[in-house]
Amino acid sequence: MIGNQGKIVLNHLQRAIAAEEKQGCCNTGVIGGFHLFLKGILSRLEQLEKDGDFNVLKDITNHYKDWSPLQRRQALAHLRRFIEEHEELEAQGQAPPVYDSLKPVNLEYGGPGISKQPQQPKPSDIPPASEPPGSDKKERLTRPTPPRSLQFLKGVGPERAKLLAQIGLHTVKDLFFYFPRRYEDRSLRRIGELKDGEFASVAGKVVAGQIARGKMKVVKLSIEQDGRLVYGVWFNQTYILKQFPVGTPVIVTGKVRWQQRVPEIQATDIQKAGAAQPAGIVPVYSETARLSSKVIRSIVQGVLDQAPELFPEFLPPEEGKGWVLRAQAYQEIHFPRSLHSLGQARERLVFEEVLFLQLAVARLRAGVQRENSPQLKGGESLVQKFFANLPFELTHAQKRVIEEIFRDMANTQGMARLVQGDVGSGKTAVAMAALLMAVGSGYQGAMMAPTEILALQHYQSLEAAFNPLGLHVVCLLGSQTKSERDKILAEIAYGKAHVIVGTHALIQESVQFHSLGLAITDEQHRFGVKQRTSLQTKGENPHVLVLTATPIPRTLALTLYGDLQLSALDEMPQGRKPIMTRKLTERGRSSLEKFMEEQMEKGRQIYVVCPLVEESENVDLISATERFESLQERFPNRRISLLHGRMKGVQKEEIMAAFQKGEVDILVSTTVVEVGVNVPNATVMVIEGAERFGLAQLHQLRGRVGRGGEQSYCFLLSDAKSSRRLDVLCETQDGFKIAEEDLKIRGAGELLGTRQHGIMELRLADLSRDGRLVEQAYQLAQKVLAHPDRYPRVWQECDQFFSLEDIGLH
């Protein structure tokens, strides 16, 4: 018997299965891969029931990654059957059956040649989902659970329960999470105080009623208050006259319109005065054709007293100071006593939501041991020699970030730091200093890049800087010959190689490090979760440094990378010329092409980026292939190449290498150049259909130029009459300001919903304006991650708050 905790785990599995099917069974239903999620589920079930038989789950877990989508769909059907039979037997109080004969048949495992994926290392500092550390099992089992259906609540019933289910409301807890979309102040007003156009509530007695018939039946009630009249008006709601006859005391609410001396209220609500009614501030909910806000409000009001049971306090007394009690916050967010109490309730719930999301994301990203890392503080002399040889002065931002990194590396608590900064802000120099500190302390340093061209670029830079210091740098690539590779592998294994640069080839089984002390990942968003963590598991708990040229708003970074310390290179080196950025319409193309010719006459190179590879009947955009052909006609004597994502990797890298060497004048491309090689001679970036790109993406594309000493230009071609994104790009070069504007324009929901993050849209928090609360949540999250055993209730409520479907699905 796996008990209540097992039911929670199986419920998570059921939701993840639905998400995986929705994604087309492509092993993307859960962040990091559905097969890794299955491993976690299997380990939890085995912990809960050591004698249970989970052969079906084991078989599917071991082979899911290697199956086709059709085979996976069949396997998911077996998983559903597995869940259903366990649930039925649990309900009957019986032990689950033995599944020896129930294995996914005819799925063609792929034969003995398929290697099983290694078990993900278990995090020692973060508890597994649904098993909070130090939690009291008796307490968990006795905690009340909400009813399976809402139909038994007062005023609901079977039909209305179905309507509620259609908008995602299945339990009492769901009702509490169905936050109002706005509020109305229904404090009672005197008729003489009413102002035209305002929203108001008035109490009085019905003294007359009439219907004006026409295209629409206009119902009008005359309501008297202390000798003055106000008209309540409805359209096509003739039942109002019968429901509120003459003599009925009422409260009518709506928008005020003054008609001569008697005001009208275009009523949105009317009720008998003296009946049970909400306080002055009334919640307004998103509604459907058959579920009005009034009905939802009544249902929610009926369950308010369940808040203390459903939302127990989890903050320790020392952390809870200054916050309204959790249960009270859930009551006040729906029916606030005042605007002040509403603000307090919202702050508490935003803080809670962001805290739980940060912890949940940290758990998904966990899996790497961060204790007992080597203390790397013996490379000071190497670092100073490196600084002395630099042909430029480090910026204040670089010095600050290097100090932060060195401070982390000197501790046995492994460094886990994310360094973000614009292209050209000096991330490579920072990474070099960190590598030298590691090597000078007797350890190796590794740097992983997403493409061979980027890896070679890093290798050339590191070799030029480190060879004069007596260090041996090697580069490991998938395209190398066996003899080259074997020689490099031997140098890595025996410690002859001090610094190792490479692509994902670094994380293959054949790579054995002698003493890896520092693992650096460049452009981390280009790697999957498993790839990023695999490099870290190659050594004895190496320190981890992550680099990104994609500035992330701080509130979003704290949420998505809450388990990493953050460093920002928010200052550009002196003397770097800003890229001149201009918007152009199609009418300006001829002058643009004349300018392109002038730049090529000077020996400069040009990027032309297009949003699509081929023409689409549905979307009228310039395709890369069409623009490539038109430019060949316009510049017949120039060397023009085409680059797009459908090309094979080798072909793409050959074209980029030719462009880097100056063998191509114009590179026509899709967004595959967004993260690319350093081409100092490229001075012009032309972006076709610029309004179709996101702001952050436009900024990244612009960063492909301006890498040399010459003035560079970015032209945004667009016929859009107005575009805030393009205006922002023309106004500023600051990647962090651009990231914040992007957050305001698109909202956290869209940013969080990107494929590499796969995080749900937040219910209540707004990361573009709740920065202070995000910071406070981050501070507590760091304490909880550092000492999980001290915060068992936090982990317990985190599991209750976010299902794995919420936090792990693409």
CA 206/CA 462 separation, integer angstroms: 85
Which letter, b or e, does each residue of 190-201 get, where b requires 16 or more Cβ atoms within 10 Å of its Cβ?
ebeebeeeeebb
Residue 430: strand, helix, or coil: helix
* Angle CA 650–24–694, to nearest 5: 60
CA 32/CA 359 separation, integer angstroms: 17
Query: What average pLDDT does the structure give for the chain?
Result: 81
CA 196/CA 213 separation, integer angstroms: 26
Instruction: Provide the token pair at 456.
Output: 């070679």
Which stretches of 467-602 are DSSP H helices? Answer: 482-493, 529-536, 554-560, 589-601
Provide CB contacts within 8 A for 339, sequence distance 6+.
Answer: 281
Give me the phi and psi of 341, to 5 degrees please. -70, -30
Strand segments, DSSP code E, in 236-375 are 249-259, 262-272, 281-284
Residues 701 and 687: beta-carbon distance below 8 Å:
yes
List, run by run, the mean pLDDT of 10-residue segments along the chain (810 residues): 70 80 71 75 74 75 79 80 73 50 36 32 46 45 51 88 90 92 87 89 93 86 93 91 92 88 89 68 88 90 92 90 93 92 94 88 61 88 92 91 95 87 86 96 91 85 93 90 92 94 83 91 57 63 85 76 79 82 92 95 94 55 81 94 81 86 92 67 93 84 84 92 87 84 68 44 78 90 86 86 49
Q: pLDDT digit string (tens) for 56-68?
A: 788 888 888 878 7
Pairing of strands 444-448, 473-476: unpaired
Q: Tell me whether domains 187-277 and 580-732 share a fold.
A: no
What pLDDT score does 620 carry?
46
Which stretches of 574-623 are DSSP H helices? Answer: 589-601
What pLDDT score does 432 carry?
96
Instruction: Provide the token pair at 203.
Output: 């109490």
CA 532/CA 520 separation, integer angstroms: 9
Q: For the chain, give every domain's residue range.
A: 3-120, 187-277, 380-569, 580-732
CA 346/CA 729 separation, integer angstroms: 34
CA 754/CA 761 separation, integer angstroms: 10
Report which residue type is found at 95. Answer: A
What pLDDT score does 332 carry?
94
Q: Which residue has the tokens 């054949």?
A: 510
State the sign of the Cα–Cα–Cα–Cα dihedral 633, 649, 31, 357: negative
Residue 209: strand, helix, or coil: strand
Nearest to 608 by CA among 687, 490, 662: 687
What pLDDT score does 364 carry?
63
| Total Cβ atoms within 10 A of residue 123 | 19
Instruction: Provide the token pair at 218.
Output: 């206009």
What pLDDT score does 278 carry?
52
pTM: 0.61
Residues 697 and 725: beta-carbon distance below 8 Å:
no
What pLDDT score does 229 carry?
93
Q: Which residue has the tokens 């976690």?
A: 40
Nearest to 247 by CA among 224, 265, 227, 228: 224
* Upper half-sphere CA count for residue 657 (Cβ side, 13 Å): 11
Nearest to 282 by CA among 206, 218, 187: 187
Q: Which H or E run includes 21?
A: helix 3-22
Q: Which residue has the tokens 């317990």?
A: 796
- For domain 380-569, give its CATH number from 3.40.50.1000, 3.40.50.11540, 3.20.20.70, 3.40.50.300: 3.40.50.300
Instruction: Provide the token pair at 96.
Output: 């689950």
CA 780/CA 666 separation, integer angstroms: 51
Residues 447 and 473: beta-carbon distance below 8 Å:
no
Q: Which CATH architecture fits 580-732?
A: 3-Layer(aba) Sandwich (3.40)
Q: Which CATH architecture fits 187-277?
A: Beta Barrel (2.40)
